[in-house]
Structures are given as structure tokens and as C-alpha cells.
Structure 1
Amino acid sequence: MTTLDEQMIVAGAKNCPRMLDKTTYNSCQSRMLLYIKGKKNGRMMLESIENGYLVYPTIKEDGKIRDKKYVKLTKQEKLQDDCDVLATNIVLQGLPPDVYSLVNHCKAAKDIWDRVKLRMQGTKLSYQERECKLYNEFDKFTSIKGESLYEYYLRFSKLINDMHIIGMTMQQVQVNTNFLNALQLEWSKFVTDVKLAKNMYNTNFDQLYAYMSKHE
């Protein structure tokens, strides 16, 4: 079994995105998985991250049972083993030095991924705290005096995106209503017009923004 450093040299992944920043971990994680999926044999690499590396089949030789050597594996087994190495390499390339030093004893992409996820996301309680924080931000979201409609839309979009990343869901009408009601008072006439012109249940806030930007 090769070391992690040797795996990185053998695999030679290029230009992989940064995976880890604790403040933006969820979006970085999603970007990393999408990057891997887009690589050749990406789905096999994702399989390695989600379910672990290939367990070498065993053979009986001279009365002893041992793992097959790489050269004796089937073509499909060799491909999966290579994908295991590539997946490990890509994940490692996304680790800052302080995190890398905590997982350099792991030999499989899944082990590294799980340990890093625990470090970055914490326990279920930590997730609940983040969820509560985002719900609180959503409930208290309001426009800032002097900002343009576009700036307001960008801030709202980022908040909704952060909520989607960790799996939070809300009814479309709830999102749309909050988007409109949090605008400054000078928009009140247009807000009323929009509510009359658009179906708040099947229109998204991007479409509401596009409609209202014509009147800004």
C-alpha cells in the first residue's frame, strides 16, 4: 500500500478547486463533488468517496490466503483501484496544510472525506445551530437604505443559496413573499402590482426581480 504522498505523485491531479474553508465549507464541498463528477470516470471516484476504496480480492497460494497483486486484478478492478487513488489525490489537493496534517494517516478518500466533514461541519447540533441561524437571517432579512434593487437581490440570492446548500427547504410562496415584503417603502406600490400580476406559488424570486428591475 502506497503512502498518501506517493498517491498524490502517481495520480497527478491538476487544477482541482479548493475544497476547504470552514466559513464556506458547504459550497466548497458541493463544488468539489461536481468537479470530481465531471472528470473521466468521475462517477467511480464518487463511489470511492461515498463507499470506500476497492477491497482487493484474495487468492489461496501455497496454502496461504493473501490479497491479489494489482497486476492480477481484472480490468474493471484495476480501473476502480486507479479511481480510488485519483479520488484520494483530488480530495487531498483541496486540503489546507493544517487539515492535511490531521488526515495524512488515512489511506482512503472516504476516510479523509468523512473526517474532514466532521471537522468542518461538526456534530448534528452544529448543523442545527447553522440551520437556526439561517432561518433567523431569513426572517429578519430586509433591504438596506440606499442600496440598489440589484444589490438587494444579490444579498437575498446568497442567503437562499446558503439555505439550499445544507438542504433547507421552504415553500416558494414564502420565499417570494419575504423577497417582496423586505423591500424599502418606496417599492410598496410596485410590490402590490407584482403580487397582482404574478402567481406567487409558481413564480420564483429571480423572475420577480427581473419584472421589478424594469421599473427601477
Structure 2
Amino acid sequence: MAITEGNYTPSAAPNNSAVVDLRMKKRDDKALSMLKLGLSWEILTTVNHQKNAKDMYDAVIEMFEGNTELRDIKKDRLKQQLDRFKFKEGESLKLVLQRFMTIVNEIRTTNLQISDFELNKKLLSSLSGKWYTAS
């Protein structure tokens, strides 16, 4: 909840808000501790300056996924790889499928929306002519 609800910010209002602030601070401290325990030393040293759980979590996510501009560049690169995908002369069907599935798996991790129909059509159109059956 500390990560999804945002940063802990103490309020200046008197009365019950002090109790609520203390609970929020404890929750944020727990989340921050859990994040620190789950990170490797190399990653922790780069994000340890963050003061609350949400900021640390966002820094880790940006470190691994990049910012929105980098994610858009990755999506464009994957679209280009898919567009240029084709059978290489002398390549076995197993290797073609492995190369294709590598691209498809990367596409799925970026939430790039390409239908299964489009993917199947691309794979079948990229196969060698010698694999087509005579009718």
C-alpha cells in the first residue's frame, strides 16, 4: 500500500492526524525495508538515496524497464525486427522458430499489441518456398 498509495508526507494538522501519520510512516518504513532486503548490493547502492518506498520502487523499475522514451524505442525496434524477420537460406525450421519466438516473447514483455493472427501470418509468410506443399 505504501508503494501504490504514494509517498509518506507528514501533515501539519493536530489531533488524530498524528496517529494516522505515524501509521503511514511505519507502513512506509516497512515497505522500504522490504525493498532493501530484496535487492542485490549493486542495485541497492544505486537507489539507496531514495527516502521512501514509492520513490525507491520507481527508481528500480526505471532502472530495469527504462523511462517511457526508452520503452517506446524498444517497441519500435521490436516492430522493425518483426517486419524484417525472414527465413535464412540453409536454416532449419527449429532455428527459425527459435528466432521467431525470441522476438515474440520480447514483444509480449513490452505490452506491444500484435494479434496472434498477425504473428502467425508473419511466420508463415517468412518460411522458405521449399517447405510449401504442392497442391
Cα 1:108–1:133 shift into 2, 3 Å: same
Cα 1:51–1:152 shift into 2, 3 Å: farther
The one-letter amino acid paired with 1:160 is V
* Equivalent residue, structure 1, for 2:101: 157
Cα 1:87–1:48 shift into 2, 3 Å: farther
1:89 to 19, 28, 37: 37
* Equivalent residue, structure 1, for 2:55: 111
2:83 to 139, 150, 167: 139
State the distance in 1 between where 2:85 and 2:3 align. 37
Cα 1:161–1:48 shift into 2, 3 Å: farther
Cα 1:188–1:50 shift into 2, 3 Å: farther
The one-letter amino acid paired with 2:93 is L
Q: CA RMSD in A?
A: 3.6
Does 1:126 pair with 2:90? no
Per the normalisation by structure 2, the TM-score is: 0.71
Number of residues paired by the alignment? 132
Which residues of 2 match residues 31-110 of structure 1 at below 5 A? 47-52=1-6, 66=18, 84=31, 85-90=33-38, 92-93=39-40, 97=42, 99-110=43-54
Cα 1:83–1:154 shift into 2, 3 Å: farther
Q: Which runs of 5+ in 2 are unaligned?
A: none
* Equivalent residue, structure 2, for 1:178: 122
Per the normalisation by structure 1, the TM-score is: 0.48
Q: CA deviation at 1:187?
A: 1.2
Contact 2:7 2:55 in 1 (8 A): no
Contact 2:8 2:52 in 1 (8 A): no
State the distance in 2 between where 1:89 and 1:55 align. 23
